A and B are shown apart, each in its own frame.
Chain A
């Protein structure tokens, strides 16, 4: 059964649709990531799920029940905010106990649940601290504990890692994922960071300009992007797109290799003029142009650092190729078309 389902959600601000007809559902225990550039409407959509904004049209179902008219407090959700929204005047214990107090939970049950949540997130030693005395990572855990004690149908997380520094973010990411796997609560997670999305999501929903572009597992999203936007939004560097008759042709930089590195048949060969190279330690990025195939952006190739390093120089023209199975075809509207279509 779907924990959360959204049906044809639209949200209009003035003349603009911040959310334009998004339908999706979150399965029980699933970790769903909403991924998109900033301003794409993903946070608005999350806030509509939470009930903090009301949709212009469409239905939200939580646990099978239509909650359009139900305020946030009665939706059975818990939310972790970007800067956590901890109550500065309350201790860690009372922050976590807050949602239970609003439900008039008996005192010993409240104690038991808060202690359990604090132990689960290993913050029991911080119980009497105030939020401002905590580090970013600790704050995040308090916010999670506070979300947890409500025993919600679904967790809603709005870029909870964006306030952490880069180093902490990596460890917080795996902690968060592990935590979700322990409690098995359905989770909707908003981020603009594709690494977070790929690493944590059971499924990813890619959103752009208020529209759902594709929803699927990380593999599906990466290997079979539904359109040019998804294809170029994920991956660093993004997928190359070159013109072809009736649309465009896409291939990932890591599949675009010197001809001699690929064996076997069914190759698409392309003459690559290298303008510039970047050495990144574990890999090398080549920037250039494919002769005879105009592209809106610079074409890139990603090679293992020391592969064919003597033959390739900036300014050179070299025969590159892609396996036909790794070519993606898009029509004039940018939508994916049948694979292996005649070139």
Chain B
């Protein structure tokens, strides 16, 4: 083989590998997309090639979703839960992360790691006792139960993320503010917070997406359709008996996936450095 031919073959196999990888990752989403806009006759037809429209695309599944199901309500529920959880997470994690970043000595570090480790405690371990706690609080079958419980995984992760960020802010800045006439709270609010806007934005996005992805607690705590968040509502309520309405299902999954997917992609690097905690540099 000549060098030229070898190079072409090399490039060719490289691109084939990339294409295969992307296909494996993204095909289910393409499948969601095409299913959403196919007519039923086209969907349930074994004769034609399924990868493309054999009849004209239709909006009927989307229309049905918005007019005849609680889809909008679920979207609203998810948004409401997300906003509340983000608020709780910020109120709790910002001071905690700051305190951990500034506290002297080994104790603070251990405490920080301890809080981070609770991120590893899975819903599967806690859904049984927590559902009991929820009913004791009279929150069973209400979306507020999720607002209460979701911070158990957003707080550990976000506190850890913020702690790392605050550590990168020189201590001199808060000390300067304290000498310049601020209380400790004042120094935090007037100098550290404005400097931390990028980190705060990251925390908002992640708390929100983590909330959007949760399924187990929602499944355990909530059975009334009008209280369900989007993930639960779509997965359980769009199925009548044994009949799956694939057009509507895929449309709903697609619409609710898009914002999360975009947010994740934008903040991916911060998320990774949060999880690995700079493990490589050490």
Q: Are A103 and B181 in contact (CB under 8 A)?
A: yes
| B180/A98 in contact, CB under 8 A | yes
A220 to chain B, nearest CB (A): 32
State in angstroms the CA–CA spacing of A146 and B183 once bound together.
18
**B183 contact from A51, A73, A87, A89, Cβ within 8 A:** A73
Contact between chains at A79 and B179 (CB < 8 Å): yes
Tell me whether B173 and A87 are in contact (CB under 8 A): yes
Given A85-B172, A88-B195, the answer on whether A98 and B177 have CB atoms closer than 8 Å is: yes
Please tell me if the beta carbons of B179 and A73 are within 8 angstroms of each other in the complex. Answer: yes
Min distance, Cβ A300 to any Cβ of chain B, angstroms: 39
Q: In the complex, how many angstroms separate the beta carbon of B198 from the nearest chain A beta carbon? A: 11
Given contacts A88-B195, A89-B195, contact A79 B176 (CB under 8 A): yes
Contact A73 B181 (CB under 8 A): yes
Is B183 a contact partner of A71 (Cβ separation < 8 A)?
yes
Mask of B149-185 contacts with A, CB within 8 angstroms, 1/0: 0000000000000000000001011011111111100
The answer to whether B176 and A87 have CB atoms under 8 Å apart is yes
Set of chain B residues within 8 Å of A79, measured between Cβ atoms: 175-176, 179
The verdict on B54 contacting chain A, using a C-beta distance below 8 Å, is no
Chain A residue, CB-CB nearest to B174: A85
Bits for B179-204, please: 1 = Cβ < 8 Å to A, else 0.
Answer: 11111001000110011000000000
What's the count of A-B pairs with C-beta under 8 Å?
Answer: 61
Q: A146 and B180: CB pair below 8 A?
A: yes
Within 8 A of A (CB), among B47-72: none
Which residues of chain A (121-150) have a CB below 8 Å from chain B? 146, 150
Closest A residue by C-beta to B171: A85
Q: Does A85 contact B175, Cβ atoms closer than 8 Å?
A: yes
Contact A52 B172 (CB under 8 A): no
Q: Which among B177, B186, B194 has the highest number of chain A CB atoms within 10 Å?
A: B177
The CA-CA distance from A72 to B170 in the complex, in Å, is: 18
Q: How many whole Å from B179's CB to the nearest CB in chain A? A: 5
Most B-side CB within 10 Å, residue of A72, A102, A146: A72
Q: Are B172 and A72 in contact (CB under 8 A)?
A: no
Q: Which residue of A lies closest to B195 (CB)?
A: A89
Instruction: Give the interface residue-count category, chain B.
Output: 10 to 19
Does the CB pair B170–A83 fall under 8 Å? yes
| Contact residues in A for B175 (Cβ distance below 8 Å) | 52, 72, 79, 81, 85
- A222→B259 CA distance, assembly (Å): 72
Closest-CB distance, B102 to chain A (whole angstroms): 12
Q: How far is the CA of A314 from the CA of B243 in the complex (A)?
A: 103
The one of B173, B182, B183, B190 in contact with A85, judged by C-beta atoms closer than 8 angstroms, is: B173
B192 to chain A, nearest CB (A): 10
A99 pairs with B180, CB closer than 8 A: yes
B181 and A99 form a contact (CB under 8 A):
yes
B84-100: contact bitstring with A at CB < 8 Å (1 yes, 0 no)?
A: 00000000000000000
A84 on interface, CB distance cutoff 8 Å = yes
Most B CB within 10 A of own CB, among A50, A81, A83, A146: A81
A78 at the interface (CB under 8 A from B): yes
Is A77 positioned at the interface, with any CB of B under 8 Å from its CB?
yes
A73 near B172: Cβ-Cβ < 8 Å: no
In angstroms, Cα B182 to Cα A193, docked, is: 32
Interface contact B173-A52, CB-CB below 8 Å = no
CA distance A99 to B190 in the complex (A): 12
B17 to chain A, nearest CB (A): 44
Complex CA gap A103/B176 in Å reads 15
Interface residues of A in 42-101 (CB under 8 A from B): 50-52, 71-73, 77-79, 81-89, 98-99
Q: Name the CB-closest residue of B to A158.
A: B172
> Are A52 and B181 in touch, CB under 8 angstroms?
no
CB-CB under 8 A from B181, the residues of chain A are 73, 99, 102-103, 150
CA A287 to CA B182, docked complex, whole Å: 55
Nearest chain B CB to A186 CB, angstrom units? 16
Q: Which 5 A-B pairs have the closest CB atoms?
A: A102-B181, A85-B172, A85-B176, A99-B180, A81-B172
Query: A84-B172, A85-B172 are known contacts; what are 14 more A-B pairs with Cβ within 8 Å?
Result: A50-B179, A73-B181, A81-B172, A85-B173, A85-B175, A85-B176, A87-B191, A87-B195, A89-B194, A102-B182, A103-B181, A146-B176, A150-B180, A150-B181
